[in-house]
Amino acid sequence: MAMSDARKTRVVVGMSGGVDSSAAAALLLDQGYEVVGITLKLWPQDCVSRAEDKCCGPQAVMDARAVCHKLGIPYYLIDEANAFQKQVIAYFAEEYKAGRTPNPCVMCNEKLKFGALLDRARQLGAERVATGHFARLEKSPDGRRTLLRQGRDARKDQSYFLFSLRQNQLERALFPLGEMTKQDTREVARECQLKTADKEESMEICFVPDNDYGKFLSDAKLVQRHRGDIVDLRGQVLGQHDGVEFFTIGQRKGLGISSPKPLYVIELDAASNRVVVGDDSALERDQFEVERCNWIPFDEPPAEMRVSAKIRYHHPGTEATVRPLTGGGASVTLHEPQRAITPGQACVFYEGDLVVGGGWITAHK
C-alpha cells in the first residue's frame, strides 16, 4: 500500500516482542500509517517467572518497548490478564476436562487480539488493528465482505488460526506480512536495526512452560488428578490413569500399560473418566461433525461444498464434502480417511487459498 493510500490512518499493532510484529510495525510506518504499539499483558502475576522468550513474558515486553522506541512510535502495555484467564486459560482447562483437545491460539485471536485489542484501538482513535500473522485479506468482488486468504508463504501460513474471526473483526484487521516470507520479515527488521531481527520464535503455547500442558494444568490447580480406567475397544480394563485431561487422541507414549503391539488413545470418555485405546487402524475416520461454524465469504453457506479440510494446524489438508446443519454445525465427509481426528480442534475449510470457514470438531456420536 502506498503512502498516499494510508493517509495517516492510525493503526494499533499488537506487539508480541517477536520479529514478525516488529516487522509489521516497521512496514506500516514506512507505508505512511500513524502506528501505535500495544502489548497485551496476558500473564497472571504468578506467571511472571516463566520462560523469558514467551510472548506473554517480561522479556517480550522489554523487546516490544525497545522496538517501538527505535521506530519512534508510542507504546502501551495494557493489562488484560483477567480476560485472558477467563476467555483462554479457563477454556483451555475446561476443554481438557471434557475430553477434548483445545486450540487456545484460535481463541486468543478471536477474544483478545481482535476483541480486547480492537476495543483498545477504538479508545485510542485507531481505525485498524494489525498483527504479524502470515495471512492475507481482500475485499470480495462486490465489495461487501472481507475475505481471508492463506499467507503467500505456505510454510508460514497462519490463516488456520484466524478462521473464527467475524466480518466486523476482519474488516478492521491488517496483516502486513501476508505477501512475505519469514526471511523477508527478518530483513525488514535488520534494515530498521530492530533488536528482534534474529530472535528465535517459540513454537509452544505461550502460557505453557516446556510445552507440558498436563503439568501446567496441575500446577495451576485447574484440574485435579482422579483415577479412571484405561480400556480397550471392547471395554476390557487394561490399566489405570489419573484423568482424561492428561491425554489426547492419537497419543501412544505415557499410557503406562504393556501390550504386544502399540496402543493409541482412540477416545476420551469424560463422563465415565475412561481412556479408550486401540491399534493404529482404529484412529482412522472419514466422517465427523463440527459445531459453532463461522463462514467468511457468505452469511449463509451453500447446501454442499467441496473443500480442502485441515483437521489441525500442521495438517496438509484433504479433500472433503461439507454439508451445513441446522444449529450452526456441519457434517464433514473426507474423501480419504485421516488419522487422529481430534474433538476440540478446529477444522478449517479452504477453496484454493481462500478460507471458506470452519468449526470445532465434536466427539463421536
Q: What value does the mean pLDDT of the chain take?
A: 92
Count CB neighbours of 116 within 10 A: 19
pLDDT at residue 118, rounded to an integer: 94
Grid cell in block for residue 312: 489441525
Amino acid identity, residue 350?
Y
What is the DSSP secondary-structure string of 72-112?
Answer: T--EEEEE-HHHHIIIIIHHHHHHHHTT----HHHHHIIII
Asked about 206 being catalytic, the answer comes back as: yes
pLDDT at residue 253, rounded to an integer: 92
The pair phi, psi for residue 240, each rounded to 5°, is -120, 160
**Number of residues that make up the chain:** 365
Choose, from 105, 206, 293, 347, the residue flagged as catalytic.
206
User: Cα-Cα-Cα-Cα dihedral of 16, 153, 204, 198, to 10°?
Assistant: -60
What is the DSSP secondary-structure string of 210-222?
Answer: GG-HHHHHHHTTS
- Checking if the pLDDT of 301 tops 90, the result is yes
pLDDT at residue 203, rounded to an integer: 67
- The residue whose grid cell reads 451445513 is 324
pLDDT band, residue 97 (cuts 50/70/90): very high
- Domains 3-210 and 285-361 belong to one CATH topology: no
The pair phi, psi for residue 223, each rounded to 5°, is -140, 160
pLDDT band, residue 52 (cuts 50/70/90): very low
In 3D, which of 42, 81, 62, 355 has the Cα closest to residue 205? 42
What's the CATH architecture for 225-278? Roll (2.30)
- 187-217 pLDDT, tens digit each: 999 999 999 999 887 766 778 877 888 999 9
- Checking if the pLDDT of 294 tops 90, the result is yes
pLDDT at residue 124, rounded to an integer: 94
For 3-210, CATH gives 3.40.50.620
pLDDT band, residue 322 (cuts 50/70/90): very high
pLDDT at residue 246, rounded to an integer: 95
Cα 69 from chain centre? 29
Amino acid identity, residue 70?
K
Query: Please, what is the Cα angle at 140 between 139 and 142, to 5 degrees?
Result: 115
pLDDT at residue 47, rounded to an integer: 47
pLDDT at residue 1, rounded to an integer: 39
Average of per-residue pLDDT across 139-163: 96
- Checking if the pLDDT of 49 tops 90, the result is no
pLDDT at residue 208, rounded to an integer: 81
- Checking if the pLDDT of 311 tops 50, the result is yes
Q: Decide: 112 and 104 in contact? Cβ < 8 Å.
A: no
318-324 and 305-310 beta bridge pairing: antiparallel
pLDDT at residue 7, rounded to an integer: 60
| Residue 324 vs residue 55, higher pLDDT | 324
Asked about 68 being catalytic, the answer comes back as: no
- Supply the angle between the helices 19-30 and 58-71 in degrees, to the nearest 10: 20
Choose, from 108, 192, 293, 347, the residue flagged as catalytic.
108
Dihedral over Cα of 18, 19, 20, 24: its sign: positive
Query: How far, CA to CA in Å, does 240 sit from each of 261, 264, 273?
Result: 18, 15, 10
Q: How far apart are CA 16 and CA 131, in angstroms?
A: 9
Strand partners, 275: 230, 268
Q: How far apart are CA 206 and CA 204, in angstroms?
A: 6
- Checking if the pLDDT of 125 tops 90, the result is yes
User: Cα-Cα-Cα-Cα dihedral of 347, 350, 356, 362, to 10°?
Assistant: -10
Average of per-residue pLDDT across 128-142: 96
Strand order in the sheet with 274-278: 237-241, 228-231, 274-278, 264-269
pLDDT band, residue 171 (cuts 50/70/90): very high
pLDDT at residue 56, rounded to an integer: 56
pLDDT band, residue 363 (cuts 50/70/90): confident
Count CB neighbours of 273 within 10 A: 17
pTM of the model: 0.92
pLDDT at residue 287, rounded to an integer: 97
Average of per-residue pLDDT across 338-365: 94
pLDDT at residue 223, rounded to an integer: 92
Average of per-residue pLDDT across 119-142: 95
Q: How far apart are CA 218 and CA 225, in angstroms?
A: 8
Average of per-residue pLDDT across 294-322: 96
Which percentage of the chain shows pLDDT scores above 90? Answer: 84
Average of per-residue pLDDT across 335-339: 97
Average of per-residue pLDDT across 102-121: 94
pLDDT at residue 127, rounded to an integer: 87
Average of per-residue pLDDT across 288-307: 97
Residue ranges per structural domain of the chain = 3-210, 225-278, 285-361
Pick one of 2.40.30.10, 2.40.10.120, 3.90.190.20, 2.60.40.1930 as the CATH number of 285-361: 2.40.30.10
- Checking if the pLDDT of 256 tops 50, the result is yes
